[in-house]
Amino acid sequence: MYRFGIDLGGTKIEILALDATGQERHRERVATPRNDYAETVAAIVRLVRDAEGRLGGSGSVGIAAPGAISQLTGRIKNANSTCLNGRPLLEDLQQQLQREIRIANDANCFALSEATDGAAAGGAVVFGVILGTGVGGGVVVNGRLLTGANAIAGEWGHNPLPVFLPDAGELPGAECYCGKRGCIETWLSGPGLAKHFEQATGRTFTAEQIVAQSPADAQCEAALQAYEDRLARSLAGVVNILDPDVIVLGGGLSAVARWYDTVPRLWGRYVFSDAITTRLVPPRFGAASGARGAAWLWRDEITQTRIDP
C-alpha cells in the first residue's frame, strides 16, 4: 500500500507516493489545465493511475487544494484557481478513482507535512505559515490537523496587521481582494513587500530582488527591517492565542535566512510573556510539502477531519 499525495496548484499538479515507511517512491508533475475543471479532474486521475501502474500497487489518495473545502458540501470555496470554486471535486474524484479521498487546504497540508516528519516534527502545537504570493497558515495539534468549524483554522493572512503606532504610516493599509484593508497578506506576501517598496522608493523591484540587494542597498535593507518587524508583530498575535511550540515558515519568502534570527528577537516586544520558547524554523521539505502533507492526510494512527460526499 502507498500513500499518494497530490498538490493541486494554479500552474502545476504534482503527485508523490510514500511507501509504508514514509519514503518517497515516485514523483511526477504536469501543467494544470487552464481554467478547465473537467480536464483538471482527468489530469489528477491520470497521475494516480500512472503512479499505480509504475509502482505496481494501489493506495490512499489525499489532495492539497487551494482555498477551503466547505464543511457542508465538500465543494471548494475561496480558491484562486476559480474554475474549482463550487465544484464537487471530492465527489468527482471519489467516483472516478473508486475510493474514499481526503482533501485539505494547501497551507494545512504544508503544516501537516512539516509537523509529521519535517522541520516541526515532535512539536505538540505547530503553526505552519505560507509567505508567498499569498499568506496562509495551518495548525497541527498532537499530529492532528485542526480544520476548524468553518474550515479556516490558521487563516491569519486576512487578519489586520497589528499596528501599535497609528502614525507609522501603516493605516489604513492597502485594499485586499477579500474586501478589507490592511490585511496581513497585503504586507507580508511577496507582491505586498514589492508594492510597499515601490510606494516608498519609486523603484520597481520584486521581493526576490529586494532580498538580494540587502543589506548593501539601504532602501532594500530598510524594507526588510520593516517587513521583519511586521512579521514579528503578526506572529506574536498567533503566539498569544495558540502558543505554539514550533512555527515553521514556507513559501518563497521562507528562504530568507535572517528571519529565523531577527523575528524571534523582535517578537519578544509583542508577545504577552516574559520568556518565549516558541521556535521559528525553516521548512524541511519546502515546495514538496503540499503533496507530502496531502499523502499524510491518510496517516492511520491519527484521526483526520474527513469530508464526506
Residue whose CB is less far from Zn ion, 134 or 283: 134
Helix axes of 190-201 and 218-242: crossing angle, nearest 10 degrees: 140
Q: Which residues bind Zn ion (CB under 5 A)?
A: 158, 176, 178, 183
Pairing, β 24-31 against β 12-18 = antiparallel
Residue 157's alpha-carbon distances to 154, 178, 293, in angstroms, are 8, 10, 20
CB of 179 to Zn ion, least distance (A): 7
Q: How far is the CB of 176 from Zn ion (least distance, A)?
A: 3
Using the minimum distance from each CB to Zn ion, give the nearer residue, 78 or 278: 78
Q: In the complex with Zn ion, which residue's Cβ is closer, 3 or 158?
A: 158
**Number of Cβ atoms within 10 Å of the Cβ of 136:** 26
Can you tell me which residue has the cell 484557481? 81
Amino acid at the residue 25: R
> What distance in Å separates the CA atoms of residue 2 and residue 57, rounded to the nearest whole number?
7
Supply the minimum distance, in Å, between the C-beta of residue 175 and Zn ion: 9
In the complex, minimum distance from the CB of residue 134 to Zn ion, in angstroms, rounded to a whole number: 9
Distance between CA atoms of 20 and 215, rounded to whole angstroms?
46
Nearer to Zn ion, 63 or 183 (CB): 183
Q: How far is the CB of 89 from Zn ion (least distance, A)?
A: 24
- Identify the H or E element spanning 53: helix 37-55
Residues β-bridged to residue 62: 5, 102
The residue among 143 and 154 lying less far from Zn ion, judged by its C-beta, is: 154
Helices (H), 98-134: 106-117
Q: Which three cell numbers stand for residue 227?
A: 517587513
- Whether 7 and 291 have beta carbons less than 8 Å apart is answered as yes
Rank residues 174 and 222 by Cβ distance to Zn ion and give the closer one. 174
Shortest Cβ distance from residue 237 to Zn ion (Å)?
Answer: 15
Q: Which is nearer to Zn ion, 40 or 189 (CB)?
A: 189
Residues 50, 59: contact at Cβ < 8 Å? no
Closer residue to Zn ion, CB minimum distance, 101 or 135: 135
DSSP states of 74-92: --EES-SSGGGBT--HHHH
Point out which residues pair with 238 in neighbouring strands: none
Query: Can you name the residues that pair with 59 across neighbouring β-strands?
Result: 2
Q: Minimum distance between the CB of residue 155 and Zn ion, rounded to whole angstroms?
A: 10
Q: Provide, rounded to whole angstroms, the least separation between the CB of residue 303 and Zn ion.
A: 32
